[in-house]
Each structure stands twice: as C-alpha cells, then as structure tokens.
Amino acid sequence: MEGGREREQLPQLLALKVMRLTKPTLMPYQPVVCESRDLCGDVFLKMNSNDLAKPRNLDYFPLGDMLTLPQNFGNIFLGETFSSYISVHNDSSQTCREIVLKADLQTSSQRLALSSINSQPIQELLSNHSIDDVIHHEVKELGTHILVCAVSYTTNSGERMQFRKFFKFQVLKPLDVKTKFYNAEHFISDDVYLEAQIQNITPGPIYMEQVSLDPSPQYTSKQLNSMEGDGEDQVFGKPNYLNAMDTRQYLYCLTPNSELYGENKVLKGVTNIGKLDIVWKTNMGEKGRLQTSQLQRVAPGYGDIRLTVESVPDTVSLETTFNLTCRITNCCERTMDLTLVLQNLPGIGLMWCGISGKQLGKLPQNESMDIPLTLLAITPGLQTLSGLRLTDNFLKRTYEHDDITQVLVLDGDIH
C-alpha cells in the first residue's frame, strides 16, 4: 500500500506457453459436391481442387493427406499418458534471475508435481531466451484434471514477481468392462470360467493389443481366446480392431491351486479372481493401458454336503449298464453318519441298480469318500441323472441331489 491506494499490477517480464503433446490427426476434407452445369458449379469445383486438405487421386474422400495438430487440450482417456510441453520465455530486454517453474496436476483426490526443474531455481534467464520442459503422466483417475503452472522470478531491481496459469481437461472412460462368472459345479473340477465383455466407448476405432488376466495367487488361469490355446491363432484375428461402441467377449478358465483342496472351507472362501490387464492403441498409435480392480465372485455355497461326479462315460448303449463314481464331501463343522438312498424317479431314462438304503458310515469334517454306483440306460437320448438322496442319521436330515450329470444314451452299439 502507498498513500492508501493499492499498488498497480506491474506487467510480467516472462511469458508462459503450454502445449499438449499428442499425435497429429488427418486433416478432414469436406468437399462441396455439385455438377459443372449447376449455378456456380465451376466456382465450387475450383474451390475443391484448391483445397489443401484434398487427398490426392480421391476427390471426395473425407480425410486428406496432411496432418494437423490439436488446437486445445481436448479430452484424454483413462490409461493414456498425458504429455505437455512447457516454455517460459523472457519477452523483456532485461535479465531475470532465480526463476522457479512449478507444474502440478490437480485431481479430485491428489496434487502431483510433474515438472522436472521445479526443485532448483534457474539462476538467470537472458532476454529473448527460454526455459523448456516436457512433462509426462499416466492418467489413472477419471474426471476433471487441472494443470497448474506457477512461475516466480526476480527482476533487476530485486523485486520478486510471480504468476500462475491454469489449464483444465477432462479424463474420460475409454472402455466399458463387464464380467460374468460360471462355476463348474456339476463337473469333475472346481474350475471357474470368467467371461469379460469389453466395449469401446471412444469416438473412434482402437486396436486391442493385449487382453490378459492376471490371476490371484489362489488360481492359475488359461485363456480360451485362440484356436489352439497358445495365442497364435486368435479368434478375432491378428489385426484385432474394435470399432466405436463395438463389444468383444473374452473367456478365461481359472483352476484353484492344489493346496486349496486340503480344506474345503478355504476353497469356499476364495472370492478374489484376479485383474484384467488391457492394452490398446488408437488409430495414430497412441498407447493406453487399463487394469481393472480385483475381480470378485460370489463363492459357491455347497451346504453341509457337496456331491461331485469323479468319473462317468460320455455315451452309453441303450439297455446296458454303466458305472459312475461320486465323491461326497462333508462341508459342515461336525461328523456326519450317512445313509445312501437311490430313487428311480418317473420320466428319467436312467435307472439305479444296486441296494438302496446302504449305510455309508461316519464322515468326519472336511473329509471325502468315493462311492461307486451302477445304472441302467432305458431311454435313448441325452438323459439327466437324478434321484440320489443322502440322510444324516444324527439329525435325521435328508439331502436331495438331482440333475447330477448328463449321459448320452445311443440306440445301438458304440463303436
């Protein structure tokens, strides 16, 4: 303050310029289509031929041969790398000293220092000289981002000057990822199948360079997106392009590690599957990477008793017997005394052979037993096996098991 009046704002000696570094795009070409005999037709045709954006030998193609740089910060997609060129230029005729340049990126949750020269001040900047810096940051948050550039320096008179500039841009979501889980409950294994639906929600096509699953330590994974399973012959082909708003489906099989089978309680509690790692490129080769959060599945509820099929033939002949092996696992917290009851339900093309009401004995907690069974095929076609009952003699409780597995019955000999 001086004489009760605020001191006038002095003009800045330094100028700050910021430009986002990104790949150029093809210059659009919008020809005016007309006939030469139309009114002003010759004028329009001459304008088209003199247009710099006009592609060679393609009179009406909407993209030209020339490249153009973006005129503003524009939008950036999650997983891409934000790069920017920052220049501080001395527009004055005097030398500035102790120049400090700071470039911070402000998001909704944090503030990141990006400039590599903001730690130590530059001792002096001569007239018509500049300080240049290039910053890079892999964008990992959605929403509004603000690049805050602050410059401070000392004039020849010893006065400390400073100013700031703000540059705002939006980070958008490039892909929409949806997942589905399928548990192999009625099969021999405890495999989990993961289906990932990936939709391109950017305005242009992208090249899907890699879609892989990074499983959790409890699982090993195998991708099922190639013809031979080794990635050489992809289902979608080698040039795996995904147009705007198109969706691709990817399938993976996850197998629990062997140490999880020792205690069934542990197997039921495993809900973390892993993370999807997606790498893509835009039409100009800019790379983006997106990793999902830990995928969760609802653990299968086995109840007190779990019944799995260990061995069964795929096909059998009509009016012949075949063998089946089932495994019974005690998943409750107490010992069970079990009785096996076999019921031949009406309309079922498979009949149980053997003694019903057989005492299986005591089955301790987290223990299993295999029971061999025999059936007779009486109806051709794809038949579903049902009618197995297990009774706990301690609590007088019966556990019903239907739709256990399926067998194809052929009307004739199997060759």
Q: Are residues 20 and 155 in the same domain?
A: yes
Q: Are residues 207 and 281 in the same domain?
A: yes
Specify if 255 maps to a domain.
yes
Domain end marker among 296, 315, 330: 296
Query: b vs e for 300-327, b when ≥16 Cβ sit within 10 Å of the residue's Cβ?
Result: eebebbbbbbeebeeebebeeebebebe
Residue 226 confidence (pLDDT): 76
CATH number at residue 226: 2.60.40.1230
Q: Are residues 332 and 406 in the same domain?
A: yes
Domain end marker among 172, 203, 232: 172
Q: Are residues 104 and 231 in the same domain?
A: no
CB hemisphere CA count around 320 (13 angstroms): 15
pLDDT (tens, 9 = 90+) of the chain, 415 residues, equals: 333 333 345 688 899 998 888 777 777 766 666 665 655 656 666 777 677 677 777 766 666 767 777 666 667 889 888 888 899 999 888 889 888 888 999 988 889 888 766 567 888 889 889 988 898 988 988 889 999 999 999 988 888 988 999 988 889 999 999 998 887 654 446 778 889 999 999 888 888 888 889 988 888 888 888 766 454 566 666 667 888 899 989 999 888 877 665 554 445 555 788 899 999 888 777 888 888 888 887 666 567 888 888 889 989 999 899 999 998 888 888 899 999 999 998 888 899 998 888 999 899 888 889 999 999 999 999 999 899 999 998 888 898 888 888 899 998 665 5
Residue 296 confidence (pLDDT): 80
Q: Are residues 18 and 151 in the same domain?
A: yes
Q: Are residues 236 and 164 in the same domain?
A: no
Specify if 202 maps to a domain.
yes
Q: Are residues 155 and 269 in the same domain?
A: no
| C-alpha to C-alpha distance for 220 and 252, rounded to whole angstroms | 10
Q: How many domains does the chain have?
A: 3
Q: Are residues 260 and 119 in the same domain?
A: no
Q: How far is CA 316 from the centre of its chain?
A: 43
Specify if 1 maps to a domain.
no
Torsion, CA 197, CA 202, CA 206, CA 208, rounded to 10: -30
Q: Are residues 91 and 158 in the same domain?
A: yes
Residue 256 confidence (pLDDT): 81
CATH number at residue 120: 2.60.40.10
Specify if 57 maps to a domain.
no
Domain end marker among 172, 207, 223: 172
Q: Note whether 274 and 214 are within 8 A (CB).
A: yes
Q: Which residues contact 399 (CB under 8 A, 6 or more apart)?
A: 303, 304, 305, 389, 390, 391, 392
Residue 265 confidence (pLDDT): 45
Specify if 33 maps to a domain.
no
Q: Are residues 181 and 167 in the same domain?
A: no
Q: Are residues 106 and 84 in the same domain?
A: yes
| C-alpha to C-alpha distance for 386 and 398, rounded to whole angstroms | 15
Specify if 29 maps to a domain.
no
| C-alpha to C-alpha distance for 274 and 287, rounded to whole angstroms | 23
Specify if 239 maps to a domain.
yes
Q: Which tokens in the block code for residue 72?
A: 């503003």
Specify if 52 maps to a domain.
no
Q: Are residues 231 and 118 in the same domain?
A: no
329: closest CA among 310, 309, 306, 347? 306
Residue-number span of the structural domain to which 373 is assigned: 305-410
Q: Note whether 200 and 174 are within 8 A (CB).
A: yes
